[in-house]
Amino acid sequence: MNLIIDIGNSSTKIAVFDGKKKLTAFHTRDFSCEKVEKNLSPYNIKKAIISSVRNTPEFVFDLLTIDIPFVHVLSHNSKLPFAVEYETPGTLGSDRIAAAAGAYELFGASNVLIIDAGTAITYDFLAAGIYKGGNISPGLNLRFRALHRFTGRLPLVQLMESYSFPGKNTTDAIAAGVITGLIYEINEYIRTFEKDHSDIKVILTGGESGFLKEKISDQLTYIPDIVLDGLNYILEYNAT
């Protein structure tokens, strides 16, 4: 069985796979040795992969290397099933690599745009089995916090499903500006890529993807945990 640990900006995602089948997965903000051991005790883990966009706690390496025969730390030096044309591969986030791997496993050499809506929103493009690059934009909660922190009087607004448009009060004005602004951004990204690649596949993933998926006008494939699938694929690819 394979253990997948994805350490993100806001939370850690942990999953166990048996081959390509996901047996369990959970998210936690309280990432501790005790929590990992408790949730993984029923499984006989033979291989593990760690992906992190921040510093990895030391206990993770100690915990995994004691009993697991093969442990891989994802980096730009990892073997990948596709070529990477990024000019600075050492700065390419491991979550973006993993999402691209998940897309490649699903769609092969097709043209794919991966939209990962999390703390940051990333737009990554695969074409003919080559990772071409992508863009990074602030996520929903970052936009809300930035308006509050860097202005004198604007309140901190939380994510909300309903608001007046145009906003009839300051809270609604912020919600409408942030949420509809991001929806316009995503839709325009999709339209821009579709102009040059009419056959493009679009994948929406990430922590905020569930909130956004019904609000985006274009057809897309919703895979909230494609990063976990991609990490499992990379683990198997590097273990052979």
196-218: average pLDDT:
91
Q: Best-predicted range by mean pLDDT among 18-22, 148-152, 196-200?
A: 148-152
Half-sphere exposure of 101 (CA within 13 A, CB side): 27
pLDDT in tens, 145-192: 999 999 999 999 999 989 999 999 999 999 999 999 999 999 999 999
Q: What percent of the chain has pLDDT over 70?
A: 99
133: left (phi over 0), alpha (psi -120 to 50) or beta: left
pLDDT at 41: 76
| Neighbour order of strands in the sheet with 120-127 | 83-84, 130-138, 120-127, 112-117, 201-205, 221-222
Q: Could you tell me the pLDDT band of residue 40, with boundaries at 50, 70 and 90?
A: confident
Q: Is 95 designated active site?
A: yes
Catalytic annotation, pick one of 6, 67, 95, 225: 95
Average pLDDT, the chain: 91
Give percent helix, percent strand, percent coil of the chain, each to the nearest 5. 40, 25, 35
SS3 29: coil
For residue 55, give the amino acid letter.
N
What pLDDT digit, counting tens, does each position of 94-151 carry? 999 999 999 999 999 999 999 999 999 999 999 999 999 999 999 999 999 999 999 9
List phi, psi (to 5°) of 167.
-60, 130
Query: What domains, with CATH codes, occur in the chain?
Result: 2-139+178-239 (3.30.420.40)
Q: Calculate what percentage of the chain has a pLDDT beyond 90.
A: 71
Q: What φ, ψ does residue 71 adopt, rounded to 5°?
A: -125, 125
Name the token pair of 222. Answer: 């919703």
